[in-house]
Structure 1
Amino acid sequence: MEPTKRTRRPAALAAGLACLVLLATACAGEGGSGLAGGGDETDRGDGKQIEIALIPWEEAIATTHLWKVILEELGYEVTVTEVDVAPMYQGVANGDVDVFLDTWLPLTHADYWEEYGDRVEDLGHWYDNAVLTLTVPSYVEEVDSIADLPAHADLFDGRIVGIEAGSGLVRTTREEAMPAYGLDDYELIESSTAAMLAELDAAIAEEEPIVVTLWRPHIAYAQYDLKDLADPEGAMGGAEQIHAVGRSGFTEDFPEVAEWIGDFTLDDEELSSLEQAVLADHEDDPEAGARAWLAAHPEFVERTLGEAGEGLEF
């Protein structure tokens, strides 16, 4: 994802992420029903209910709203439920939730996959250039590689700002990168994605040094001028695939949806523009962002849905 012209204050990125999570959770509706409103223009879904788990990572937020809009247009009732990564895998494995769109394989979610992989359905991968990174603002000239960090612990106050404790990114940083590069003088701060982005924004506003755990694809690369640190030891892992997974029996219960998700792919430009539409251009109404993106990308609708997408208007 190449950096693009900044379109708004970076501080809005962290705040907007929190707002989007609240909006996604609100999709569950009132009265504890957990149901979103189904589409009225088609009976393809016949009001069948699908629950999508959402972990508040940017590509997950963007693609979850994308599929919520698509499925509701096709007549399904869609609930989006926010959850942390470990409970999410437990929920899908136990059949408590239908589908999750942001499983990173073979490395980042390897532990979860080893524990739960035989109890879920792999619906296929939709992106194949996902990478974990340690990242600094581009104005930090003292380091260009993770190997440079040991000599500059004081510059960063001995802190690497991480995200959620249960994430594969934090585990990989703690168990692989830090030992590989001798980062004994650093503490990995476990927080949340929103908190990490807030710290990154505050540091950039003052042009202060900071090193954070990050990943590509991420809209932060379009909002900030960032530099990924080289990883000569390969400790952060190589390019990974992002998979969609369903509960056991999902394909049998929703054969058309499973086929559509299996045909779902995004390239770098498409994912970057989708995140921009959902997380930035329409941060107060992410479904409107997904609709705007779908309206501008009819070729995506055609290749993903085939005949089922004919006549859909977003």
Structure 2
Amino acid sequence: MTKQPLSRRIRFASLALIAGTGIAAGSAQAQDKGTIELAYVEWSSEVASTNVVRAVLEQAGYEVDITSLSAAAMWQSIASGDADAMVAAWLPTTHANYLERVSDDVVDLGPNLDGTKLGLVVPAYTDVDTIADLEENADTFNGTITGIDPGAGLMSLTEKVIESYEIDELDLQSGSGATMTAALASALNNEEDIVVTSWTPHWMFARWDIKYLEDPKNVYGGAEQIHTVTRAGLKEDLPGAYAILDAFEWTPEQMGEVMLGNQAEDAEPYEVAKKWVEENQDVVKEWLPEA
């Protein structure tokens, strides 16, 4: 399959990188087994997981490209074969519409993480406890729900929440994961009220005293999973890489370690991921094919 270059491609020569990290061990890992392209959304959870998978694939001898895209574009890139895989599919609810559109052209390898949640989050000191009370407390939040990137499934679900709860006095403001957390940090520092779209796992729950608003109508749905999804034909083209992706599975606590590391000043997510991989080889070996 001939692939077109992806925008914002970040290409790394795995031999040079692995040699400098101390990850490589043995001649099998020193071989260049081909290139695999990973797509992801710029959410803290997906930045963490994608970079960890990238480091593991490089340890196994693959060259890896990663590309940040909107959620819709991420799914389309897998379906079209422009990218090989992602470890960022939130199912069965958040990305259900995307999967339905491209189900014939992708392969769902199942969950790589259990225990996710979506919803609206406020500071713990905020008097409002349920989404049903947002409308009558619109002034408390300056008439705004602070969201993330407009193409995210979380934003589509939040629009359904607004409709279902007949919220007319608050507008959903799009932005990004970074702008959402920055707005939340500012409000907390000033002891102000704010309501934001958010998800678990996320580093901000370990850093701040915040809470989910109750969703009595269950519009956001219950706990979800994050799945690994590949393009059709990857198993035949790169069976070793496919096997690693199929075996990749970790816990919210493990993901949380990487996400918190990424919040350190001047942290580079790839370097944080490499360090985590180096220090957790007992976990990583479960993802690698038998030699």
Q: Give TM-score scaled by structure 2 length.
A: 0.89
The within-5 A match list for 1:90-169 is: 90-140=76-126, 142-169=127-154
Q: For residue 22 of structure 1, what is the aligned residue in structure 2?
A: none
- The partner residue of 1:285 within 260, 263, 268 is 268
* Equivalent residue number for residue 259 of structure 2: 275
Structure 1 partner of 2:234: 250
Paired with 2:141 and 2:40, the residues of 1 have a C-alpha distance of 32
Q: Deviation per CA, 1:9-65: give whole Å up to 9, x if none.
A: xxxxxxxxxxxxxxxx9772xxxxxx3112365445534011111211111100111
Letter in 2 for 1:68: R
Which residue is 2:217 aligned to? 233
Q: How many Å separate the matches in 2 of 1:282 and 1:295?
A: 21
Q: 1:58 aligns with which of 44, 54, 64?
A: 44
1:288 partner letter: E
Deviation per CA, 1:179-229: give whole Å up to 9, x if none. 222211111111111111121111111111000000001111112211111
Measured in 2, the distance between the counterparts of 1:78 and 1:132 equals 30
1:107-147 CA-to-partner distances (Å, cap 9, x unmatched) read: 1001111101221111221112111110001121x211111
Check conservation: 1:54, 1:80, Cα contact below 8 A: yes
Cα RMSD (Å)? 1.8
How far the C-alpha of 1:285 sits from its partner, in A, is 2.3
Aligned to 1:20: none
The offset of 1:283, in angstroms, is 4.9
Where does structure 2 lack aligned partners over 5 or more consecutive residues? 1-6
Stretch deviating more after TM superposition (45-54 or 62-71): 45-54
What secondary structure, in the 3-state scheme, does the structure 1 residue paired with 2:286 have?
A: helix
CA distance in 2, matches of 1:239, 1:219: 18
In the alignment of these two chains, the number of paired residues is 275
Letter in 2 for 1:83: L
**Distance in 2 (alpha carbons) for counterparts of 1:264 and 1:67:** 8
Pick from 169, 176, 189: which aligns with 1:192? 176
State the secondary structure of the residue aligned to 1:136: strand
1:147-168 deviation line (CA, Å, top 9, x unaligned): 1212211111111011111111
Distance of 1:282 and 1:303 partners within structure 2? 31
| Alignment partner of 1:171 is 2:156 | yes
**Amino acid corresponding to residue 161 of structure 1 in structure 2:** T
Structure 1 residue 297: deviation in Å?
Answer: 2.0
Q: Does 1:84 align with 2:89?
A: no
Letter of the 1:188 counterpart: L
Q: State TM-score, norm by structure 1.
A: 0.82
Unaligned runs of 5+ in 1: 1-24, 29-34, 309-314
Matching of residue 202 in structure 1 with residue 186 in structure 2: yes
Secondary structure at the counterpart of residue 226 of structure 2: strand
| AA at the equivalent of 1:191 | G
Misfit runs of 4+, over 3 Å:
40-45
* Contact persistence 1:127–1:242 (CA under 8 A): yes
Question: What percent identity do the matched residue pairs reach?
Answer: 37
Report SS of the residue matched to 1:64. helix
- Answer yes or no: is the 8 Å Cα contact 2:8–2:68 preserved in 1: no
